[in-house]
Structure 1
Amino acid sequence: MATISFSIPDDVKAAFGHEFLGQDRRAIVARLMRQAAEDTAQRRGREEAFRLLTERASSADRSPAKQSSRPARSAVRDGSSSTRASSSNGCFKIMPSPWKATQSS
């Protein structure tokens, strides 16, 4: 077992002594240190997961397939019938609609 020696403020020592009166202080300090180490590791893991997810979302926003499908999606959303989306190998292309309205005189 290792020994650690460090100084703490008097008010922290008094509060600790008051809250944990009659308990094994070494076991409590060990438990608190273990909990602090676990909390820090979890925080780092969450930060890394957040970083990876935001990188993926950012790169997905710039993907060629997503960018080329935006005009097709907006045309469908707007009810435009002059264009249609065609997919070839996962990439979208905007093509003229074969159902163009004929004008009558």
Structure 2
Amino acid sequence: MEKVPEKSIDIQNKKRLELIAFITGILCFSLVFIPFTRITMTGHAWGDTISITLMFIGVTLSSILLKKYGRSPLLIFSIILSLSFPIYLVILFVALFTGLIEFGP
């Protein structure tokens, strides 16, 4: 039975964890910005809770991987996608204060 080098196992785990972080970022982005799957800021607390939980999972996982393995474009992109909820709030408040959207009904 051949022994697999430990370095290749580490690279496989890195790729798997990068993919999980990227998928979490895509889920966060789709739950915040895409109209058909949007559950954030719709009036239900469970949608915001799910979005915030996925955001923390994605940012934490990406940050740990960035610190352990160094910079990777996929990890940086997954952090940006995971932070889509705070980015949406910034866009919303800027649009509200500049008058692009109305405050009341």
TM-score above 0.5: no
- Structure with higher RCO (Cα < 8 A, 6+ apart): 2
More strand by share: 1
* TM-score, normalised with respect to structure 2: 0.31
More helix by share: 2
Larger radius of gyration: 1
* TM-score, normalised with respect to structure 1: 0.31
